Structure 1
Amino acid sequence: MIRTTRLLLETIAELFPQLHRRGCLLDIGSAEGRVARFWTEQGGYAAYCYYELDVCRRVAALCDISLEQCSPEKTAGEGVWLSGHSGRMSIAFTDLVPNGPYGFAVLDTHSYPREYAFEMVGHIASQLDRNGWLLSVIDQGISSTAWVNELSQWFEEVQILQPAAAKAQDIQVFLSHCPRPDLSPRIGYYSWQVPIGGEACHFKGAPGVFSPRGLDAGTAFMLEIMDISSDDLCLDLGCGTGAVAVVAGKKSRQMVMAVDTNARALRLTQLNCEHNLAREVQVQPSDGLMDIDPDIQFDVIASNPPYHTDFAVARRFIDGSFSRLRQGGRLYLVVKRSVWYEQKLRSVFGGCRKFINESGYTVFVAERRRMQKPSQACKGTTRKHLKRIEASQQRKRRRLR
């Protein structure tokens, strides 16, 4: 168990006798929703929320809860994209917090970027009842003084708790009481401009997404290479702040889809598409291509995949994209380490083009050819695979002698 969550649980257990009548508990980001699950096991009601889709789904599976897509009104009003409940427990996939009021809240900051963690304090305080409590935990990534100052802006009482285990692990626990009235939380937006097709497009970013303060160099290079016609049905796979979706929405008359596993990225993409008058952009949560209507086939799929060393996400993106492209459809990928991607794309698509800039970014363009079959294209063509085939053939020949 993550140490910050363990400390929250230990502190909750000590405080439980005085807090168990405080109404519904709001759990923001504890590992596997352990605090919310503990609260319900003690007979209370709890709501869990987080901004990463895979985490919410993991907690939902542990609680036997099915997450369903929310209405556009709920998404627009509360920022909740998926939600579900069963018995005493509810779960929300959101970059903020679901509407309260709550009597008690816990905030585990371990996986929130620093600026995002500070912002969340205001969102939580706004959904607590007037006599509500917030139990929060920070590690050495956040200054204790800065955290106390932030809490004091939103709560009338702030207490630093001193569990022995916390001192030993450079972790600090805080208990805040009575949110200040008449304060409204805000998202910490950053603004910038990007010239697209001779037009200055205005974008907003925010803490919690990749490159929140401006368009990253990789995506900018990919946009230079991309060729989108007015009849192309496009997918922005891992949309981030939505730059690809905005460009596609301005160039194509067809539907554009933008997906991500990050609720804040979905918020920003929707905001930026609306602000820049990009037509027909459908924004929705999806783990890669898994949650997209299987009947939809695309002409263009574009992605700046995460730079993980195990390539698991990139592998799913490439394999999934091949099956979801129409004949003649194109996959655009921008990467830093190109060797693995080139081998994988040639294995799946049978070939690709590549463009390299001075900053070290590579854009690959792979086309689903008209005579290509998925089963053939996805078959490995590495040296290892060829050696295995040759060895198998040799064994068969020996048996026939």
Structure 2
Amino acid sequence: MTNDTMGTSRLDPAQLRAGLVDYIRRRGTFRTPQVERAFLAVPRHLFLGGVDLATAYAPQIVITKRAPDGSAISSASHPNLVATQLEDLDVHPGHRVLEIGAATGINAALIAEVAGDAGRVVTIEIDEDLTAGARAALARAGYRNVEVICGDGAAGYPAGAPYDRIIVTAKAWDIPSPWWEQLAPGGRIVVPLRLHGSGLTRSIAFDLDSSGRMVSSHARVCGFVPMRGSAAHGDHITQLSPDVVLKLDARDPHDDDLLTQALTHPAHEHWTGLRVRDDEPVEHLDLWLATSASRFGRLAVTTAARDSGLINPARRWAGACLYDGGTIAYIAVRPCSEDVNELGVIAHGPDSVKLAASLSDLLHQWDNDRPSQPIITAHPAGTPGEELAPGMLIIRPATRVTISW
């Protein structure tokens, strides 16, 4: 569905909503009739007054606020991702729900539809102008059981606690203590959690169990603007060329001066013979690699860099790569047929042959099991080591996260 194909019904919001719902349904995202009905009910255009009707109901992200440098700091997320998170949240009628990141107010309206008249939704936004806009839009659309608060989402909203569900609509570096404290026993939080300093993020549905830890039911590839306020956390970026940056974990050993010379070395290609189909559940290969190798990073590459032949990492895994000294090696693909690709490794740098071989070995190791879903467990900070679940350990100020396969 495109703006052009929706143009004939551009003046009929109900038909546009039906068209958007049909798009999400064809993607297989809806799993419950309640969420589908919510999407049919919420008048998105009342929350997106700055865009035309076709754009308001198009399957795309709508940026609603930018920082002075032009980067997006607030948006209406892609409707299919919104539907995915809402299904994962598993809201029931009468639930009390806390949303971190009100943005336009669309999410809060959808949650309110599912929670029903007996439910209560609290949504928090850090900027006063966005708070006022969301509050006005929700009132305009008739959602009276939503309370809009201006504040730092990392603090939650204790006055409305405990919450049966918490949903976070911005990329989080940690699960702050107030979220732990305000989630009801047996409750669920859906949070886009950064699992690596390179920015690698998954939207995770965590259930709070009786032992006081949170265990994931699943993790999904996603993209969100980062949290601001006290929970903000920056990326470490190394500029490899005007059109290529390497994102890495600042705590890992790295030499920026050496890395900036990597692309001056010719490419060394190694094709593994491993094949992946377009419909295979292999979206977590990059996360598996981050948990299995040291010095993992992600390459952000412009179209110009790809078109020039300088560098062409696989888009499917967001530029997943390894680095060592002044050498980088990244996952690449080449077509075998219409819906099958071969995995390869392309390396640049003085030790390209060695690093390419290391990454190739890891890909073969991954291929033996092809794990489809990680098991992610979050523990409160201070949990003794012997009580942590097995797996790679990620230490954050308020949380200890383990990832296993």
Tell me which interval the TM-score lies in, with the shorter structure as reference length.
0.3 to 0.5
Give me the TM-score of the superposition, normalised by structure 2.
0.36
Give me the TM-score of the superposition, normalised by structure 1.
0.36
Higher-Rg member (1/2)? 1
